[in-house]
Structure 1
Amino acid sequence: MERFTDIVKDLQTKLHYAWRNPELLRLALVHSSFTYENRGREEQNNERLEFLGDAVLELVISDYYYNQLPHKSEGELTKMRALTVCEPSLATVARRLELGRYIFMGRGEERSGGRERPALLADAFEALLGSVYLDAGFEEARRVALQQLADIIEEVKSGHTVRDYKTDLQEMLQRKSADPIQYSIIDEEGPDHDKIFTAAVDYQGKRMGWGRGRTKKEAEQQAAKMALINYAPKIL
C-alpha cells in the first residue's frame, strides 16, 4: 500500500484538483472490509460518501444531457444517463484513475480480487466525487465528473456503449403495457463487508428472472438480463 501522501499527490495530478481537506479523500478510499477488520479502531468507511456522490453524479449527467441534447425525449435522456452512470462505465473510469491501487480494504477482500472488482471500483469513484463535492461544492464536482466521464459520454452519444439490461427490459415491456416493473432483494448472504445479494424482477404478478451480485444494482442488472434471456433472447 502506498503512503497516503503519495496517493493524495497522484490523485490530485490525475483529477487536476487539490483537496483542501485531504481527510475527505482518505475517507472516500476506505472500503467497509477495512473497517470490519479494524473494529478495534474508530474508523468510518466510504459508503456515505458513495451515497452522496451517486446523487451528485446523477444530477451532473442529467443536467448535461438536458442542456446539450434539447432534441432528445425524456425516455432517450433517461437511457443515456443510465448508460453513463452504470457500474461498468464508472468502473472503467476508476481503473483509469488506478483507484484499485489506492483503496484501503481488508486482507480477505484483497485476496478475493477486490482491487479489480467492478462494483467496488464504481462505488469508490462515486465516493471520490462525493468527497470533491463536500470539499469544494457542486461546480467543482461537476467539472471533475464531466472531465473523467468525457469519453464515456461521447460513446453514449454515438451509441457505442455497454448494455444496460434494466433499461432494455423496461423498453421491451412498456411496448406492451405501462404496468410497473418491480425489483426486490430476496436474499442476502455473507458478512456486511462481503455480501452477495439476490434480486428478483416481477411484472404483472409474474416472476420474470432473478440474479446475484455483490451490490444490489449488480443483482438487479443480472435479474433483468435473465428476464431478457427467458422472454426475448433475440435482442441479446
Structure 2
Amino acid sequence: MTDVAKGLQAGLGYRFVDSMVLTRALTHRSAGPAHNERLEFLGDSVLSIVISDNLYRRYPEATEGELTRCRARLVRQETLAFVAQKLGLADALTVGQAMGARGSADHPGVLADALEALIGAVFIDGGYAAVVLVVEGIFAELLRDIAPESISKDAKTALQELLHKQGLSLPVYRVVLMRGEPHLRQFDVECYLPATKGRFSGQGASRRKAEQEAAQRALDACA
C-alpha cells in the first residue's frame, strides 16, 4: 500500500481490511474497467442517510424544509469536493493517462464522485457503524457550523413557491446542450415559464447546478 493511501486512511480515521476495495474506490473510470462508479452509486445513498440521521438528531427543533436544505448544502458537489481536497484525495486517485495529462483529477466533479465512492467502500468494508464514524468525522466542522434557520431556500424551490402562490403554471426545465467528456460534463439548461413565455438559461457542471442558475435568473426577472 502506498504512503498516499496510508495517509488517506489516516485522514479518514479508518483502516481498510480489504485493500482491494480501497483500490477500486480510488480508480476512476478513465483508468480501466475495474473503476469506482458502482461504489459511487452506493456511497451517494449511504452519505445521504448518515447526514440525514445526524441532522435529525442534532437539530430536534428544525423543520423538514430546514433539514432538507441543510442536507442539500452538505452533500452538494462543491462541499464534497472541499472535503475531498482536505483529505488529499486527488493525489490518491488513479486516472487514465489522458485525463492525468490534463490535470483533471482535481476537478470538483471528479473529487466529489471519488469521495462518494470512498464512503461506499468504507460501508462495504466495515459496515454502517464504521461509515457513520468516518462521515461524522470528515464532516464534523461542517456539521457543527451549519445553521438550519439561516439557509435560504434554493432558487428552484423559491421560484416554484412564488409561481404557485400567484396561481401560475410551474416552470419547465430542459437540457439544451451537454458539452465535454463524461467526467468533465457541462450542462446548458433552459427554464421556461409558461405563464409569461419567459426563457432563462443556466450553465453548470451538473444538471442540477445549471437548473438552479436558470431558476435564479427567472426569480430575478420576477422580482
TM-score category, normalised to shorter length: 0.7 to 0.9
Give, as a single letter, the amino acid of the residue that structure 2 aligns with 1:22: S
Task: Report matched runs for 1:52-67 at 5 Å.
Answer: 52-67=42-57
Output the TM-score relative to the length of structure 1: 0.80
TM-score (ref. length: structure 2)? 0.84
Q: Is it true that 1:168 corresponds to 2:168 in the alignment? A: no
Matched residue, 2:14: 17
Are 1:144 and 2:130 matched, yes or no? no
Correspondence 1:229 to 2:208? no
- The residue identity in structure 2 corresponding to 1:60 is V
- Pair 68,128 (structure 1): closer, same or farther in 2 beyond 3 Å: same
Check whether the contact 2:188–2:210 (CA below 8 A) recurs between aligned residues. Answer: no
Cα shift at 1:232: 1.5
Q: CA deviation at 1:224?
A: 1.5
Quote the residue 2:114 is aligned against: 124
CA contact (8 A) 2:30 2:99 kept: yes
Quick one: which amino acid aligns to residue 71 of structure 1?
E
Paired positions, count: 219
**Consecutive unaligned residues in structure 1, runs of 5 or more:** 36-42
Return closer, same or farther for 1:74/1:141 CA change in 2, 3 Å cut-off: same
CA distance in 1, matches of 2:51, 2:193: 29
C-alpha contact (below 8 Å) 1:49/1:128 kept by paired residues: yes
Q: Which residue of 2 aligns with 1:98?
A: 88
Coordinate RMSD, CA, aligned: 2.8
Mean CA deviation greater in 56-65 or 179-188: 179-188
1:134 lines up with 2:124 in the alignment: yes
Q: Any unmatched runs of 5+ in structure 2?
A: none
Counterparts of 1:83 and 1:200 in 2: how far apart (Å)?
23
Superposition deviation, residue 153 in structure 1: 1.5
Compute the displacement of 1:151 (Å).
1.2
Task: Output the CA distance in 2 between the equivalents of 1:51 and 1:207.
Answer: 36
Percent of counterpart pairs with the same letter? Answer: 31
Q: Is the CA contact 2:29–2:35 (under 8 Å) kept in the aligned structure 1? A: yes
- The question of whether the paired residues in 1 share the 8 Å contact of 2:160 and 2:170 is answered with no
2:5 is aligned with 1:8: yes
Distance 1:93 1:170, change over 3 A: same
Q: 1:84 aligns with which of 74, 79, 90?
A: 74
1:145-196 CA distances to partner (integer Å, 9 max, x unpaired)?
Answer: 11101111223227788xx9x8233124314417766555454445545544
Q: Is the 8 A contact 2:179 2:186 kept in 1?
A: yes
Moved over 3 A (4+): 158-161, 178-214
